[in-house]
Structure 1
């Protein structure tokens, strides 16, 4: 009867004996209850991991939103100014334009009712006209005046209402630059004829709408 051969540590074959046979490790069957517990543990761990990942993602989003809000608060708000430029006598002493004073007074009253900060002024001989807009400045008779505001829609409305004015966008100008006035306006000649059913406005009414510090 043939005997099985095995290979010893020296690499030579020898007859298999009980001492050189390797016993195969027995396979232990996992009870069904243990398998169910393992599956339940894995199933329970998946939602928990998902919740942790969700909380981390929410935390990252919240941090990003907070950083964006902080940067927006720190960044200065830039206001754009717009101007309507015309001869000063047209603004102040033209009977066809005498309603301007009442329009500005009504706007001031409305702003006070709304607790709104003043954002429109009459600027006599604006310093920026010749300095930054020389071409437009040549089209305006002197002395001149500018109605300036940050309310673009209102400026467009006033342009249509006043008609004989030059609209200029003061892009990139600060408030101080937009409101910088030049020489004081001279005394205007009193009109010989006044046809309106109410008294003429008091000369100098426009000074109530000057920027702080203007002459």
Structure 2
């Protein structure tokens, strides 16, 4: 089992209104410089959104995008950088299937 941390928002907000491409490109270069394996992913309409149906701020009729990582500090930093996201975590054997 792995602990995954995520920052999630509407696709429009995350992909069009925020500089996510630039943020992830810079993070990728940083990892490359450190010879560190990539431990984050951009996921469109993640399946774990179904686990959060009870949260009023996440209308599941919308399309969502999430940045998912094994690095809790990276997700916390994203919350500071992109303030209008919801952050959380889940445990899973796979990035796409939550137990």
| TM-score when normalising by structure 2 | 0.84
Residue 57 (structure 2) pairs with residue 168 (structure 1): no
- Counting matched residue pairs gives 96
1:159 aligns to 2:79 (yes or no):
yes
Of the candidates 104, 107, 119, which is equivalent to residue 27 of structure 2?
107
Q: Distance in 2 between matches of 1:159 and 1:152?
A: 11
**Aligned partners of 2:30 and 2:94: how far apart in 1?**
22
Structure 1 match to 2:57: 139
RMSD: 1.9
More relative contact order, 1 or 2 (CA 8 Å, 6+ apart): 2
C-alpha distance 149-84 of structure 1, shift in aligned 2 (>3 A):
same
- Structure 2 unaligned segments of length 5 or more: list them: none
TM-score, normalised by the number of residues in structure 1 = 0.41
For the pair 1:177 / 2:96, whether they are aligned, the reply is yes
The structure carrying a bigger strand percent of its residues is 2
Please give the residue correspondences for 1:68-79 in structure 2 after superposition, counting only pairs within 5 Å.
78-79=1-2
- d(CA) in 2 for partners of 1:109, 1:120: 13
Contact residue 85 and residue 140 of structure 1 kept, 8 A: no
Contact 1:81/1:178 (8 A) holds in 2: no
Residue ranges of structure 1 left out of the alignment (5+ in a row)? 1-77, 180-215
Q: 1:85: how far off?
A: 1.0
2: CA distance, partners of 1:178 / 1:110: 28
Once the two structures are superposed, the pairs formed by residues 1-215 of structure 1 within 5 Å of their partners are: 78-94=1-17, 97=18, 99-130=19-50, 132-136=51-55, 138-141=56-59, 142-170=62-90, 172-177=91-96
Distance 2:97 2:36 in 1: 20
Larger radius of gyration: 1
Q: Which one has a larger percent helix, Structure 1 or Structure 2?
A: 1
